[in-house]
Amino acid sequence: MMAEEQKNEVETEVAIHTDVLETIFSHVPLIHLLSASTVCKSWNAAVFSSLRRFNKPKPWLLVHTQSTRTPYATTAFAYDPRSNIWLQINKKLPPKHVSALRSSDSTLLYVLTPSKFSFSIGPLHLTWHHVNPPAVWRTDPIVSLVGHRIIVAGGSCDFEDDPLAVEIYDINTRTWERSESMPATLKDSAASTWLSVSANTQIMFLMEHMSGVTHSFNPNSKIWSGPYDLRPDRSIYFSVIGFHGDSLIMVGLLGDFENLNDVKVWELKGESLEYCKEIGVMPKDLMQKLKGEGTSFSSIKVSSMADFFYIYNPGEPGELVVLEVSDEGLCRWGCLKNAAVSDRSRVAERLVLTCCDVGLGDIGRAVGSGNGTFTVIKN
């Protein structure tokens, strides 16, 4: 009887100890949980239980900088919203590119030259793949990851026969194939400069920033659909899109270049995006941060994944507005200083933003392989 009572007391103490550990770990930055998970089996279990039950991992924002001068050195920074910290990603062998680092959507980085197409799609972008370039030479294409396929559309040089040409690279078979060209309605805007791009594992959407005219492309059927008119408010003069679950989220600037009145958010659903609901308005103080000190405000960009949308002014990227959309369609707003921006980077470096899901396993593989380490950037 005494032995059973002692056993129950020990189990109670262990249970309390585990609960305390899980609570403590919920306040520890994700990168520091890696070492905590290796202390012993009970700590390892407490770390993963804490990540499941309490403070779950959230998509990271990655900011990639590239020098505009030879040798075009690159640096990567990351913001972890779960831990509310900025990190510098120290790569063992930073990639060397002889052309501009680019991203059309939020998940894929690429570099395109006449002799090579290089791309990175994994968490933290520590691994690059190098393949033959598409047959059509392009300077400003739309490049988007849809499932296991990379869609390369438009952006072709003036001497090419088809400015709307579409080519698909299959990551599994490592082959290129031509597809149906982009719709003729996009012939004057068939470049990433003029289009907002968002894709999930099955379909890609392209929307003209200025008009809201939108088309979708299914790489399985190789069929384009649309156009869809995404202008629920005729005072929208510029807009961008991003996926949230099965819905599209549209962020629109209302007014005109010289007089920004509002920044609003809509949720779009349905086969033809016929269901449209306004779900949020950016607070005025954040709108002013986004606009910056300029007298006019012509455009925004967005990088998104899951519930998080990072909105920024490409002309003044020092301030980021963070939009978190709940499953119920509720908007939560915040702002964030861009740790990658300095007075030097404003004029001497190119900035490219992506988002990625990063788990403890991804951090462990990066550190364990020696390909990457992380340094916390102090405010």
Long-range contacts at 40-43 (CB < 8 A, ≥ 24 apart): 42/14, 42/18
* Kind plus residue range of the DSSP H or E element containing 20: helix 2-25
Q: Quick one: tokens of 164?
A: 């709307």
Pair of tokens at residue 307: 């519930």
Q: Does residue 135 or residue 12 have the better pLDDT?
A: 135
Q: CB of 136 within 8 A of CB of 162?
A: yes
Q: Which of 8-17, 100-109, 337-346 has the lowest mean pLDDT?
A: 8-17
Burial class (CB in 10 A: 0-12, 13-18, 19+), 160: middle
pLDDT at 18 over 80: no
33-42, 212-221, 286-295, 346-355: least confidently modelled range: 346-355
Question: Do the Cβ atoms of 366 and 124 come closer than 8 Å?
Answer: yes
Could you tell me how far CA 191 lies from the centroid of its own chain? 19
Q: What is the pTM of this model?
A: 0.90
Q: CA 351 to CA 345: how far, in whole Å?
A: 8
DSSP code of residue 138: B
91-to-101, 305, 348, 356, 370 alpha-carbon distances in Å: 16, 23, 21, 17, 8
pLDDT confidence of residue 157:
81
Distant-in-sequence, close-in-space partners of 216: CB < 8 Å, separation ≥ 6:
203, 204, 205, 206, 224, 225, 226, 228
Q: What's the maximum distance between 2 C-alpha atoms anywhere in the chain?
A: 90
Which has more confidence, 345 or 331?
331
Determine the pLDDT at residue 12: 43
Query: Stretch 113-130: mean pLDDT, rounded?
Result: 91
- Tell me the range of 202-216, 282-296, 315-329 where mean pLDDT is highest: 202-216
By CB atoms closer than 10 A (0-12, 13-18, 19+), residue 185 is: middle
Residue range 76-102, pLDDT digits in tens: 999 999 999 999 998 866 666 668 889
Structure tokens at 267: 């949720």
Cα–Cα distance, 325 to 309 (Å, whole number): 8
Band of residue 4 on the pLDDT scale cut at 50, 70, 90: low
Tell whether the model's pLDDT for residue 3 goes beyond 90: no
Cis? peptide before 283, omega within 30° of 0? no
pLDDT of 7 higher than 60: no
